Amino acid sequence: MMQERIHQDAAGAILFDAAVTPQVDHDWFAPAYWRERGALRTLAGGRGGVAVISSPVGECVLRHYRRGGQMAALMGDRYLWMGADRTRPFVEFRLLGEIARRGLPAPAVVAARYVRRGLFYTADLITCRIADARTLAECLAAGRLDETLAAAVGELVARFHRAGIWHADLNAHNVLVTPGGLYLVDFDRGRLRTPATAWQQANLRRLRRSLLKLGAAVQGEAVFGQTVWQPLLEHYGRTLGA
Q: What letter would DSSP give residue 233?
A: H
Compute the Cα dihedral for 191, 196, 202, 205 and give only its sign.
positive
Q: Which are the contacts of 62, defined by CB distance < 8 A and separation ≥ 6?
A: 28, 29, 31, 34, 50, 51, 52, 53, 124, 125, 126
Lay out the sheet containing 175-178: strands in order across: 134-135, 175-178, 181-184
Compute the Cα dihedral for 167, 171, 176, 180 and give only its sign.
positive
Q: How far is CA 213 from CA 136, 216, 237, in A?
A: 13, 7, 24
Q: How far is CA 113 from CA 71, 99, 187, 211, in A?
A: 22, 19, 15, 33
Catalytic one among 27, 169, 186, 188?
Answer: 169
Is 188 annotated in the active site?
no
Compute the Cα dihedral for 197, 200, 203, 208 and give only its sign.
negative
Q: How far is CA 141 from CA 138, 145, 172, 176, in A?
A: 5, 8, 11, 14
Instruction: Answer for the pair 79, 120: CB distance below 8 angstroms, yes or no.
Output: yes
Q: Which residues are catalytic, by number?
A: 169
